[in-house]
A and B are shown apart, each in its own frame.
Chain A
């Protein structure tokens, strides 16, 4: 949420600096006040063996047989199988083969093992990857309808991974790597198994906020690796906000030049390119969010007259509010900026924000008041907001992009294209909101129950795990409009120092909820698998 929470925030820092009890009072306004969880009182779960080993997220259909095969690091190969439409020319898969070979064997200190031949009938020699579709999509960017399904069959002497597209192959490679384990003697073993797998939801995202704290590139890339381990497929990059503007725009270099925390706290076009490519190679989409008209304080520093000057009676107070919606220059600027963004970010969607617009400043400004009168908006500032958003949506549409918006845009009745995706984030009554949004025929993404920046003592992953996204009043058709969800890690209290331990494995709970079957809800089994999954991520 942004929500109340984000709206509270300048006030909160202020209070926090002046008096703590006020800060505490402010925090009690949070929709989910931080409290020790009841879960804490639960008995400590006994760590045991899950019949599904350490697989995370759990595949849709899984048969693990007792027969064990051994993998010899010196001989085992990941290769393109016969009949595959992708070959050694597919760099995406070549990279993935190398990566997964290292994940499987790399951490081991005994690279030389496996030189002696093993008895026949007990060794797995290859994993053959077969892409079935004529177009493997090897050179493409993943998108909302990318096919991530795969079939994995592990039998002696070769395992076969079949997928229509490379995206399914990436997911299957991850699963294969999770099937391999080391016995007490250091041998790498895998059970004969049959797996058919595909995601339950198409949009499985992680939101990172690089405005409240800058995240070094390394943090973002590490997070993309972890996302791939958990079969997440969308990085929602909340790249700018009030606090800082780290995105370096070629068209408007002053935005980051004056709006970033420092010269060192900037994402250059090369950095952005690197993130997008790194994500693509892992089957992850990058959706940037340029939130407006609120949450734009940092934009104002590098773009004169973009923000609304606030007034104190007759005079300018010196502070600024949301983007100024009454000036033509605003829309010229937005047209150029979003034209650039549409070119830089290949995904078909841009997140346009649209949340938490504070009307106080608009109300104080006589020019805005005049404009309201002229437009016949009366004193309904939501109409002014809609006016602005409408124009932004048109700008983005003309750049041939689809858009995602926070729920307020829908709540306030802004006219949006039917293919708009509405992201539900407000924690209270989110099920009712899901009903309304899908009832109106809009596609939706759920984030409300998965604000991972809200920490509490104990095993809160269980809370995230127990959410059922389709558990809201609505018909089948409505349920189909829920295309997925996002785990959000807002950055007020998060930077490179604590990002990874705060996000993982808590986000893994969301990862399984969005990938696995609806009926995968056994907390104990999940605990057993997740503990091992965490140990694997540590490697």
Chain B
């Protein structure tokens, strides 16, 4: 019971200087200063290659200043006048780029050193500075009197994996823009850097296409309210950019496309019952030229709207039943010499799609089936490993990397699957590189993604279901491989969740206990 009480106490008060995810190197020295949220200032160091006018950092300064200001009720400032006051945080960025988008090669490393006279944050790029600002904000702690402190600390930090993603599914349930934006906020608190936007699927098509407006007009749950306009999408992308987060859109084909059908006549395969069309539709019809004309136009738009180099093309779970039932497809199969192997037909489709995408100078991410089915893909393709029940996922990662492709891991991180108890621990204990393979193979694992599929999730339960559970994955992907102590993680994560509550995020509890600031935004 004594240990129990201690653990709860720590959770309640919040340990000084706990950071989530754990930085690569932290050194605390004796000494601290008082931090007056109202008076504290962020600024650019003279040595910095970027300065005022750099929107990414200007806005980040304001954001983090506000987070400090709103961290709790005001206390009289001079309760401890004998302790020094923290002066300011100066940021120094080495490369002068400010207006671009983060990408796979963005350097996110930073060095942070805090002390009473001056705290200094230096980084190669603005993206690293963003990560450092987040860390800085988490170093600030309060004592029982409500005074804010900053301990003298030196941090050297960099991510373990370059791709640290979170998937949201806006097709099975529409997510209002503010839910997506809030998720981007919390992603930044967790140092996630990729928003995988599974934007359309069978149940609905909320993406409003300029080239094919009928797609959402007929395929959205409600074409007036349950759509993402071009402005919405741009807003999401810019909001993400300002937080150092890439937006990778997924337009999954040829399966998972039922909602495309009503707005794109002739696109889907008509299924047959015997000799006559049954009225139902299957995957995209791969035998028509019009299909490829449509995809060419459609992805031309998508390639422009989404600035990231990568598009996620899906390619998972193609059901062959409908293709098989269709006499024209049977004829096409014969003509192409595919025999009865419908995987060949799928490959035929994917191949042509990949060529279209390549012609726009884009790279692509695909779900593992595309690799499993032997589709010829460009060497820089990223294979997204997701299947939980098709043998151990470690084996799949081994095969993908052995074939020389880069792999992205999601199989153990399907957060939509809920269960009773502290399931964050299961997600936390995954070691992405624990598979049979050479060092070169391990280097091909570029990261992973937490997936929150939408069958049972909408704006009513998204946030508590996602946070802080996704935080477990964030730390696994950012922190050092050796950071695996569950007890330590519990304490820091419980504290981190209290911080999320202070920031107004509806993050659910790990276990019993309380936070000083409970959620009140009902």
* Chain A residues within CB distance 8 Å of chain B: 9-10, 13-14, 16-20, 23-24, 27, 30, 34-36, 212-214, 216, 218-219, 222, 243-244, 261-262, 264-265, 318-319, 453-459, 491-498, 500-502, 538
Contacts and interface: CB of A to CB of B under 8 A. Distances in A.
Contact of B464 (A222, A318, A454, A498): A498
B3 A495 contact: no
Contact of A491 (B428, B512, B518, B519): B512
Interface stretch (B31-39, B121-129, B163-171, B500-508): B500-508
Interface string B459-488: 011011100000000000000000000110
Contacts of B3: 14, 17
6 contacts: A20-B426, A20-B429, A24-B426, A214-B514, A498-B465, A498-B509
A491 to B, nearest CB: 7
A34 B420 contact: yes
A14 B514 contact: no
B421 interface: yes
B508 A458 contact: no
A24 B426 CA distance: 9
B419 A493 contact: no
B97 interface: no
A23 B510 CA distance: 13
B327 interface: no
Given A14-B3, A243-B512, A538-B460, A500 B522 contact: yes
B488 to A, nearest CB: 9
Interface in B406-444: 416-422, 425-426, 428-429
Main secondary structure of the interface of A (DSSP, over half): loop
A120 to B, nearest CB: 35
B490 interface: yes
For B506, B512, B520, the residue with the greatest tally of chain A CB atoms inside 10 Å of its CB is B512
Contacts of A318: 2
B418 A498 contact: no
A455 B508 CA distance: 14
Contacts of A496: 518-520, 522
B7 interface: yes
A212 B509 CA distance: 11
Contacts of A261: 12, 513-514
Given A30-B420, A261-B12, A319-B1, A13 B518 contact: no
Contacts of B1: 10, 319
B514 A213 contact: yes
B420 A453 contact: yes
A317 to B, nearest CB: 9
Contact of B420 (A13, A14, A456, A497): A456
B82 interface: no
A499 to B, nearest CB: 9
Contacts of B421: 23, 27, 34, 493
B70 interface: no
B4 interface: yes
B273 to A, nearest CB: 18
Contact of B511 (A13, A18, A219, A264): A13
Main secondary structure of the interface of B (DSSP, over half): loop
Nearest to B6: A17
Among all A-B residue pairs, the 5 with the closest Cβ atoms: A501-B461, A34-B420, A498-B464, A261-B514, A34-B419
A497 B425 contact: no
B509 A455 contact: no
Interface string B203-221: 0000000000000000000
A330 B30 CA distance: 49
Given A27-B421, A34-B420, A456-B420, A14 B4 contact: yes
Contacts of B328: none
Nearest to A265: B514
A16 B425 contact: yes
B464 A501 contact: yes
Contacts of B464: 497-498, 501
B317 interface: no
A377 B516 CA distance: 46
A216 B521 CA distance: 11
A491 B12 CA distance: 17
A264 B146 CA distance: 14
B456 interface: yes
Contacts of A538: 460
Contacts of B487: 17-18
B338 to A, nearest CB: 30
A32 to B, nearest CB: 8
Given A36-B419, A212-B512, 11 more contacts: A10-B4, A16-B422, A17-B487, A36-B417, A213-B514, A216-B519, A216-B522, A456-B418, A459-B456, A493-B421, A501-B464
A457 B422 contact: no
For B4, B12, B429, the residue with the greatest tally of chain A CB atoms inside 10 Å of its CB is B4
Contacts of A35: 419
Nearest to B490: A17
Contact of B501 (A214, A453, A457, A497): A497
A497 B507 contact: yes
B518 A501 contact: no
A339 to B, nearest CB: 30
A453 B419 CA distance: 10
Contacts of A500: 460, 522
Interface string B5-28: 001000010000000000000000
Contacts of A18: 486-487
For B7, B419, B506, the residue with the greatest tally of chain A CB atoms inside 10 Å of its CB is B419
Nearest to A11: B4
For A30, A455, A457, A501, the residue with the greatest tally of chain B CB atoms inside 10 Å of its CB is A501
Contacts of A19: 486
Contacts of B416: 457
Nearest to B429: A20
A493 B520 contact: no
Given A17-B7, A23-B425, A213 B522 contact: no
B522 A219 contact: yes
A493 B511 contact: yes
A39 to B, nearest CB: 12
Interface in B335-394: none
A19 B425 CA distance: 10
Nearest to B515: A495
A495 B500 CA distance: 14
B512 A492 contact: yes
B520 A458 contact: no
B418 A455 contact: yes
For B420, B428, B501, the residue with the greatest tally of chain A CB atoms inside 10 Å of its CB is B420
Nearest to B3: A14
A318 B422 CA distance: 29
Interface in B118-174: none
Contacts of A34: 419-421
Contacts of A262: 12, 514, 516
Contacts of A216: 518-520, 522
B475 to A, nearest CB: 14
A492 B509 CA distance: 8
A458 B4 CA distance: 34
B486 A214 contact: no
A84 B461 CA distance: 44
Contact of A493 (B425, B506, B508): B508
Contacts of A459: 456
